[in-house]
Amino acid sequence: MPMQQIGLDELMSMLLTRMDSLTLESENQKSRFNIMFRIFYKKGLFSDADVLEAVREEHRILHELGMLKEMPGEESMKATAEALMLWIKGDVKAIKHSMDEYDKRLKEAIAKQQKPRIDVAPAGVLDELDRMGGASQSSGKKIIL
């Protein structure tokens, strides 16, 4: 049986197509869950307090399984529960506000990070370093970190 060769571009195309399919499937599943939870909430089958307790339980399970190094604080769990409830209640104004706040904090954090610096030495300095190290011209250049 002859082996078929596949090009890198074909492989990339297949992988991207599969990734698009998984993304669409994930979005479809999220939409279905949102719809079902909205129905349950409107029928009074669970409350905001129930969601907070479920978030606590989820974090406890993840912690006991070793998937979380430490339990998040109460404020963090409350924020998670509130974010879930925003989606369930469909509070578009509050969702947009929280997204704007998140973007603002993300931009501030990125601005505070120090950018790595790359210095390039002139060729003369590199040649001098090569001579000092006893390297011959044919051995190539050295990279100094």
For the chain, which residues make up each domain, given as ranges?
A: 11-113
Per the confidence metrics, is the pTM higher than 0.75? no
Please tell me what DSSP assigns to residue 115: P
Closest to 84 measured CA to CA, from 46, 116, 110: 46
| pLDDT (tens place) for every residue of the chain, 145 residues total | 666 778 888 889 999 999 999 999 999 999 999 999 999 999 999 999 999 999 999 999 999 999 999 999 999 999 999 999 999 999 999 999 989 998 999 998 888 887 777 777 787 877 787 777 765 555 555 555 5
Between CA 24 and CA 30 the distance in angstroms is 10
Neighbours of 51 (CB within 10 A): 19
Closest to 101 measured CA to CA, from 109, 111, 91, 90: 109
Closest to 130 measured CA to CA, from 138, 61, 68, 44: 138
